[in-house]
Protein backbone atom coordinates (compact mmCIF):
# COMPACT_ATOMS: atom_id res chain seq x y z
CA UNK A 1 0.00 0.00 0.00
CA UNK A 2 1.31 3.40 -0.98
CA UNK A 3 -1.31 5.72 0.50
CA UNK A 4 -4.82 5.98 1.86
CA UNK A 5 -7.27 8.80 2.48
CA UNK A 6 -10.39 9.30 4.58
CA UNK A 7 -13.71 9.32 2.69
CA UNK A 8 -17.35 9.75 3.58
CA UNK A 9 -19.39 6.72 4.73
CA UNK A 10 -19.93 3.90 2.23
CA UNK A 11 -17.90 5.07 -0.78
CA UNK A 12 -19.47 3.48 -3.85
CA UNK A 13 -17.77 5.07 -6.86
CA UNK A 14 -14.23 6.22 -7.57
CA UNK A 15 -13.08 8.63 -10.29
CA UNK A 16 -9.52 9.70 -11.08
CA UNK A 17 -9.10 12.82 -13.19
CA UNK A 18 -7.41 12.41 -16.59
CA UNK A 19 -4.56 14.67 -15.47
CA UNK A 20 -3.97 12.35 -12.48
CA UNK A 21 -4.27 15.15 -9.90
CA UNK A 22 -7.70 14.50 -8.35
CA UNK A 23 -9.57 11.56 -6.89
CA UNK A 24 -13.28 11.71 -6.05
CA UNK A 25 -15.41 9.11 -4.28
CA UNK A 26 -19.20 9.05 -4.34
CA UNK A 27 -20.36 8.27 -0.80
CA UNK A 28 -23.76 6.78 -0.05
CA UNK A 29 -23.52 7.90 3.58
CA UNK A 30 -26.70 6.32 5.01
CA UNK A 31 -29.02 7.70 2.34
CA UNK A 32 -30.26 4.21 1.48
CA UNK A 33 -32.01 3.60 4.80
CA UNK A 34 -35.80 3.81 5.20
CA UNK A 35 -37.07 7.29 6.05
CA UNK A 36 -38.21 6.14 9.51
CA UNK A 37 -34.77 4.73 10.44
CA UNK A 38 -33.01 6.99 12.96
CA UNK A 39 -29.63 6.23 11.35
CA UNK A 40 -30.56 7.76 7.98
CA UNK A 41 -28.52 10.68 6.69
CA UNK A 42 -30.61 13.07 4.64
CA UNK A 43 -27.71 13.58 2.24
CA UNK A 44 -24.99 11.79 0.33
CA UNK A 45 -21.50 13.18 -0.22
CA UNK A 46 -18.49 13.44 -2.46
CA UNK A 47 -14.93 13.24 -1.15
CA UNK A 48 -12.21 15.17 -2.97
CA UNK A 49 -8.57 14.16 -2.57
CA UNK A 50 -5.48 15.20 -4.46
CA UNK A 51 -3.10 12.60 -5.86
CA UNK A 52 0.62 13.13 -6.27
CA UNK A 53 1.36 11.25 -9.51
CA UNK A 54 5.06 10.97 -8.62
CA UNK A 55 4.65 9.39 -5.18
CA UNK A 56 1.07 8.09 -5.22
CA UNK A 57 0.30 9.98 -2.01
CA UNK A 58 -3.32 10.97 -1.44
CA UNK A 59 -4.33 14.12 0.42
CA UNK A 60 -7.92 14.36 1.70
CA UNK A 61 -9.25 17.83 0.85
CA UNK A 62 -12.90 17.77 2.00
CA UNK A 63 -16.27 16.02 1.95
CA UNK A 64 -19.16 17.73 0.15
CA UNK A 65 -22.70 16.76 1.27
CA UNK A 66 -25.54 17.19 -1.23
CA UNK A 67 -29.19 16.24 -1.74
CA UNK A 68 -28.95 12.78 -3.16
CA UNK A 69 -29.76 9.15 -2.59
CA UNK A 70 -27.24 6.49 -3.60
CA UNK A 71 -24.78 8.35 -5.82
CA UNK A 72 -23.24 5.40 -7.61
CA UNK A 73 -20.60 6.81 -9.96
CA UNK A 74 -18.70 9.86 -11.14
CA UNK A 75 -16.62 10.75 -14.20
CA UNK A 76 -14.31 13.67 -14.93
CA UNK A 77 -14.39 15.44 -18.28
CA UNK A 78 -11.26 15.47 -20.46
CA UNK A 79 -10.09 18.79 -18.96
CA UNK A 80 -10.11 17.37 -15.40
CA UNK A 81 -12.00 20.51 -14.32
CA UNK A 82 -15.58 19.18 -14.35
CA UNK A 83 -17.17 16.16 -12.73
CA UNK A 84 -20.46 14.44 -13.57
CA UNK A 85 -22.12 12.52 -10.73
CA UNK A 86 -24.99 10.05 -11.16
CA UNK A 87 -27.66 10.40 -8.52
CA UNK A 88 -30.05 7.45 -8.10
CA UNK A 89 -32.79 9.62 -6.57
CA UNK A 90 -33.34 12.75 -4.41
CA UNK A 91 -34.72 13.48 -0.98
CA UNK A 92 -36.39 16.55 -2.50
CA UNK A 93 -39.65 15.01 -3.76
CA UNK A 94 -40.17 17.89 -6.19
CA UNK A 95 -37.32 16.40 -8.26
CA UNK A 96 -38.68 13.42 -10.14
CA UNK A 97 -36.32 10.51 -10.78
CA UNK A 98 -32.55 10.54 -10.72
CA UNK A 99 -30.08 12.94 -12.26
CA UNK A 100 -26.62 13.52 -13.57
CA UNK A 101 -25.32 16.51 -11.64
CA UNK A 102 -22.30 18.58 -12.64
CA UNK A 103 -19.59 19.89 -10.33
CA UNK A 104 -16.41 21.82 -11.06
CA UNK A 105 -12.99 22.02 -9.49
CA UNK A 106 -12.40 25.52 -8.21
CA UNK A 107 -10.20 27.44 -5.80
CA UNK A 108 -10.61 30.51 -3.68
CA UNK A 109 -8.00 33.16 -4.60
CA UNK A 110 -7.14 33.46 -0.90
CA UNK A 111 -6.90 29.68 -0.47
CA UNK A 112 -5.43 27.86 -3.47
CA UNK A 113 -6.57 24.47 -2.14
CA UNK A 114 -8.86 22.86 -4.75
CA UNK A 115 -12.52 22.43 -3.92
CA UNK A 116 -15.61 20.90 -5.50
CA UNK A 117 -18.32 23.40 -6.41
CA UNK A 118 -21.77 22.20 -7.42
CA UNK A 119 -23.02 23.88 -10.58
CA UNK A 120 -26.64 24.56 -11.50
CA UNK A 121 -26.42 22.06 -14.35
CA UNK A 122 -28.31 18.81 -13.92
CA UNK A 123 -29.70 16.33 -16.44
CA UNK A 124 -32.83 14.47 -15.31
CA UNK A 125 -32.71 10.71 -15.85
CA UNK A 126 -34.88 7.78 -14.86
CA UNK A 127 -34.74 6.86 -11.18
CA UNK A 128 -32.09 4.22 -10.56
CA UNK A 129 -29.14 5.35 -12.69
CA UNK A 130 -26.01 3.48 -11.60
CA UNK A 131 -23.10 4.18 -13.92
CA UNK A 132 -21.66 6.28 -16.72
CA UNK A 133 -18.42 6.70 -18.62
CA UNK A 134 -16.77 9.51 -20.53
CA UNK A 135 -16.48 8.67 -24.22
CA UNK A 136 -13.88 10.68 -26.12
What is 82-127 written as a DSSP string? EEEEEEEE-SSTTS-SEEEEEEEEEEETTEEEEEEEEEEEEEEE-T
Find out whether 30 and 8 touch, Cβ atoms under 8 Å: no
What is the model's pTM?
A: 0.92
Domain ranges in the chain are 11-125
DSSP assignment letter at 81: S
Q: How many helices (H) and strands (E) does the chain have?
A: 0, 8
Rounded to whole angstroms, how far apart are CA atoms 96 and 93? 7
pLDDT at 135 exceeding the cut of 80: no
Which pLDDT band holds residue 69 (cuts at 50, 70, 90)? very high
pLDDT at 7 exceeding the cut of 90: yes
Which pLDDT band holds residue 132 (cuts at 50, 70, 90)? confident
Amino acid sequence: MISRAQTGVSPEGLAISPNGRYVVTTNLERSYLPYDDDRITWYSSLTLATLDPETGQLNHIADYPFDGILPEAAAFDASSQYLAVVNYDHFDDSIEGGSIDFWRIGADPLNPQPQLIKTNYSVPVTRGVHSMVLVE
